[in-house]
Amino acid sequence: MSQTLKHGCGSSTIHRSRGRDVARVAIRGNAPVASTSAGNNVPRALVSPALSLARRGPAPPAAAAAPAIDESSYAAPPLPQTFTHAPHLIASAPSPHGRGAVVVPDGSGAVSVKVWAPHAASVSVLLGDSGAEVPLHREWDDWSAVLSPGSLSPQGGAYCFRLTTHDGHSFTRRDPYARATEYTSDWCYVDDPAAFQWSDRPAGSSSASSPAPPLPPVRHLGDLDLLGSAGSGLEEEEVELVGQGKQEQGGWRPRPFDEYIIYECCVGSFTPEGTLAAAAERLEHVAAAGFTAVQLMPLAEYSDVWGYNPRLLMSLHGKYGSPEDMRRFVDRAHQLGLGVIIDVVLHHGAVDGNSLWEYDGWGPDYNGGIYHEGGHDTMWGRGFAFWKREVYDMVQAACVMWLGDYRCDGLRFDSANDLPRDTIQALTYHLHERFPGRILTAEVTPENPQSVHELGFDSVWVHSGYFDIIQQHRALGRGHHGGGDWAEGWNLPRLRTVMVLHYGFTHPTQCIKYLLGSHDQVGCHNGGAWYQDLQMIGGRKRYAVDQYGGGRGDWHARSCSRLWWAANVAAAGLPMCFMGTEFAQSGWWDNNSERGLNWEHTQDEVGQHMLALFSTVNGLRTRFPALRRGWANILHEDRANGVVAFERVIEGETRLVCVINAGRKHWGAGDYGVWVGHAEGRLEEVFNSQSPLYGGNVEAPSGFSNEPRPIYDGKIWINLPEQCTIIFQHML
């Protein structure tokens, strides 16, 4: 069922889905503003910081609207209301440079501006600092000019475009390629990426920052497993060059893919300040917990709460900080050995305040104009017109910006199902060619190995493991009685695929697993409300300690969280968790001060125990390469008691055996037998999630800890605590 609402210059189609209204079409662009006195007056919305952004179309119904965001904190100072015609400020036209505001790389301080507006009769650029209006030269469907030095400052100069239609209407527009914007107006700000002094780049002046700390050891071809360069993110020739000392951009280079342990983070609620600058100061916490990469939720300017409704694809969300703040964040992360992965939303524009809707004033039949014409409707808004070269160029430029200008280590493509197949293939091919070694990951539901083998992604989020585990715990009374609540006991086929590679994948780095939840499972827009489509796991979106019991004060809930994170680290795949999980945050998350991280939890006993566990078990992936690159094989299954064991093995490296007891029965007399295969030697315990160091109850005098166990007839006989993950190394 659908209905169309019309108001002013736009409309919105609402589709009934799952009992609620979901806006399927992006909210319409600004109505053209009538020009007065030869177009020398700028629209009031540009110069009145207190005035909220003019809505680009009708408001969606209350059921579909995201909570409002208070953006009043970053209104710019008042800028001129009248502009002087200034063609003399043109150094040359048309510009040979790319779209957007580009600082000419000749050191002169000149800035090139270019915009795509095929239906405009004329386009000019308004300069906020000088009050000048410079007409742009048309070349095909682009309008451009190189401005003379001093006309527009390369360091944050304010500008926007004025477009005039063939029937005489005039209106202002933002730059689709802008890197920084004022949220409540059309003003954009020039960014010069080359001006930033990275800590690992040799300084050209005495003002250089201190030298960067030593880089991780170079990975030579001889260090790779028998799969060659698989999992490193590099072709063999590229790995060889790196091994010979070739370094990218002054010394920094991304990690091999198999080294990633990912910490998912939302800048807006990671710290009380909610800024990139404040987040950078907390990165030592992430590194100390044993993570090797930070994945940031969307940073492009958005109109929802979590960042998944982008108003522009390249402008940094102003409340988080400036482009320079972003570079400082990445620079600090790299100093600490952390990679930075950016969550990008490329498949649709914002429902509210879409800066690209009817961009040049053309948009018959509410088709969205040049950027959305022919785009398909998604559950979240109108898709882009990917069939147009200019639109594809913009999407590609957004990806290149994060990997190039900001030197990030990878991208996560949100809802990749909603991107056209040919667009994905073109993007991944280009990005791999231009930025070898960067990881390109995707959210594909359900997880599909074709995303790796045919579409060019390096890795895919695996959703199913999270749901399979929690559903098992709840169906079995959260493990209170082992398998006694179900006649068939634990559904081990489900748990089996959680630990080994999912069907169709060929290397551990191709799967990203988050057994304790991502933002989708922990975050809740609706005040902690119940969800019909999540009834199989209790209907709630919560942190792990709430899903497994009564919150961080519940010992059994903490035990389950510990055992499944340890299993996540040991399983075949790249481990990931959502911020706060590492110190047993409770409740649900939302991007606000009330539901953000509670840093006081890092200092109490529960938080300290959990952080110790994360740091220790994460470190095992550095110590034992088999956990990163080895094959996973199921060795032992005990359905009635909820016990499963698997190995991680790779030629030339120490074999690991992981034993998981998800139930509440324990064996303390060395009387539980685990099949580990016929082999010589013994197995030595290297990790136990029920150690008192992590808040567990396994004291050495109790007999629950394990001395090295010899292998007899393919088995070892061990002490097995309740709700526990134990990792053994195979010693000859």
Which tokens belong to 52?
A: 């909220």
Distance of CA 400 to the CA centre of its chain: 15
Question: What would the mean pLDDT of 488-500 be, rounded to a whole number?
Answer: 80
pLDDT in tens, 395-423: 999 999 999 999 999 999 999 999 999 99
Is the pLDDT score of 425 beyond 60?
yes
Question: What would the mean pLDDT of 662-679 be, rounded to a whole number?
Answer: 92
Query: Torsions phi, psi of 452, nearest 5?
Result: -85, -50
Instruction: Give the pLDDT score at 691.
Output: 94
Cis peptide before 176 (omega within 30 of 0): no
Token pair 């060395």 is found at 670
Question: What would the mean pLDDT of 62-74 be, rounded to a whole number?
Answer: 39
Is the pLDDT score of 60 beyond 70?
no
Q: Answer for the pair 95, 113: CB distance below 8 angstroms, yes or no.
A: yes
Do β-strands 90-92 and 142-147 pair in parallel, antiparallel, or remain unpaired?
Answer: antiparallel
Is the pLDDT score of 607 beyond 90?
yes
Is the pLDDT score of 237 beyond 50?
no
pLDDT in tens, 704-723: 568 889 999 999 999 999 99
Domains of the chain: 34-45+75-194 (2.60.40.10), 258-350+383-625 (3.20.20.80), 627-731 (2.60.40.1180)
Instruction: Give the pLDDT score at 472.
Output: 81
Closest by alpha carbon to 384, among 360, 418, 417? 418
Is the pLDDT score of 505 beyond 50?
yes
The least confident of 189-198, 199-208, 313-322 is 199-208
Q: Between these two residues, 476 and 498, which has the higher pLDDT value?
A: 498
Q: Between these two residues, 485 and 277, which has the higher pLDDT value?
A: 277
The residue type of 660 is I
Question: What would the mean pLDDT of 66-93 be, rounded to a whole number?
Answer: 69
pLDDT in tens, 258-290: 999 999 999 999 999 999 999 999 999 999 999
pLDDT in tens, 439-484: 999 999 889 999 999 999 999 999 999 998 888 877 665 443 344 4
Is the pLDDT score of 328 beyond 50?
yes
Is the pLDDT score of 142 beyond 90?
yes
Is the pLDDT score of 195 beyond 50?
yes
Instruction: Give the pLDDT score at 529.
Output: 87
Dihedral, CA atoms, 531, 532, 536, 542, nearest 10 degrees?
Answer: 0
Question: What would the mean pLDDT of 334-342 be, rounded to a whole number?
Answer: 97
Is residue 433 within a helix (H) or strand (E), and if so which, with residue range?
helix 421-434
Closest by alpha carbon to 509, among 572, 587, 563? 572
User: Would you place residue 133 in the very low, low, confident or very high pLDDT band (cuts 50, 70, 90)?
Assistant: very high
Q: Between these two residues, 189 and 445, which has the higher pLDDT value?
A: 189
The least confident of 45-49, 482-486, 555-559, 661-665 is 45-49
Closest by alpha carbon to 383, among 59, 26, 65? 26
Count Cβ atoms below 10 Å from residue 652 Cβ, excluding itself. 8
Instruction: Give the pLDDT score at 476.
Output: 65
Is the pLDDT score of 313 beyond 70?
yes
Please list, residue by residue across 599-624, b when 16 or more beta carbons sit within 10 angstroms of its beta carbon and e when fewer do. Answer: bebbeeebbbbbbebbbbbbebbeeb
Classify 520 as helix, strand or coil: helix
Question: What would the mean pLDDT of 566-571 be, rounded to a whole number?
Answer: 98
**Residue 688 pairs with which residues in a beta bridge?**
726
Question: What would the mean pLDDT of 429-435 be, rounded to a whole number?
Answer: 98
Q: Answer for the pair 16, 1: CB distance below 8 angstroms, yes or no.
A: yes
What does 435-476 look like in DSSP terms, one character per residue? STT-EEEE--SS--THHHHTT--SEEEE-HHHHHHHHHHHHT
Instruction: Give the pLDDT score at 258.
Output: 98
User: Would you place residue 571 in the very low, low, confident or very high pLDDT band (cuts 50, 70, 90)?
Assistant: very high
Question: What would the mean pLDDT of 576-594 be, rounded to a whole number?
Answer: 96
pLDDT in tens, 513-553: 999 999 999 999 888 888 888 887 888 899 999 999 999 99
User: What average pLDDT is seen over the chain?
Assistant: 83
Instruction: Give the pLDDT score at 202.
Output: 60
Cβ-in-10-Å burial (0-12, 13-18, 19+) of 533 comes to: exposed
pLDDT in tens, 374-386: 998 888 889 999 9
Is the pLDDT score of 612 beyond 60?
yes
The least confident of 34-48, 337-351, 673-687 is 34-48
